[in-house]
Structure 1
């Protein structure tokens, strides 16, 4: 199992943040299925203000490249991503079109 931590900001508008949270209480089945099929075994998103932190656990079959290819070929996932981009904003330093940015693990109590 590999664990990734990623971050992204939402637009700084309480109404939009609330809507984003509501959407994530009922994530579309096709989006959840796509995550599982790509090798994601666990995923949690945390919120503080308008900053998101995503913890993603994956099995050995997962790669970001494979996930991107699967997402590009899945119309329903593309619809979800387009909808979510209404609420999200790129972090400073993000490449054009880049959403979630991988965070560097700088400490682990486990060693």
Structure 2
């Protein structure tokens, strides 16, 4: 199992942030299905202020290329992503069209 860590910002608007959280309390079933089908076995999103942090645990069948293709071919995923852009804003370091930015691990405690 491999873990990937991502960051993304929400628009700095309390009402929009609350709406975003509400959507994530009742994820569309098609979105959950697409996440599982891509090889993601666990996904967690954390929030502070307008910053989001996501941990993605994947199995050996997962690849970013496979996930990207599955997402592009899934009309419900595209609908969800378009809706989520109402709430999200790219980090200053994001590439053109990039939402979640993959984070670099810089430290791990080894006791």
Secondary structure of 2:57's counterpart equals strand
Structure 1: 4+ residue segments shifted above 6 A: none
After TM superposition, the structure 1 = structure 2 runs for residues 38-77 of structure 1, keeping only pairs within 5 Å, are: 38-77=38-77
Tell me what 1:108 maps to: 108
The whole-number CA distance in structure 1 between the counterparts of 2:34 and 2:82 is 16
The number of equivalent residue pairs is 111
The whole-number CA distance in structure 2 between the counterparts of 1:96 and 1:106 is 25
Deviation of 1:109 (Å): 1.9
The whole-number CA distance in structure 2 between the counterparts of 1:94 and 1:46 is 19
The whole-number CA distance in structure 2 between the counterparts of 1:98 and 1:20 is 18
The whole-number CA distance in structure 2 between the counterparts of 1:109 and 1:29 is 37
Tell me what 2:88 maps to: 88
The whole-number CA distance in structure 2 between the counterparts of 1:110 and 1:102 is 23
Tell me what 1:28 maps to: 28
What RMSD over aligned residues (CA atoms) do the two structures have, in Å? 0.9
The whole-number CA distance in structure 1 between the counterparts of 2:14 and 2:96 is 25
Gaps of 5+ in 1: none
Tell me what 1:11 maps to: 11
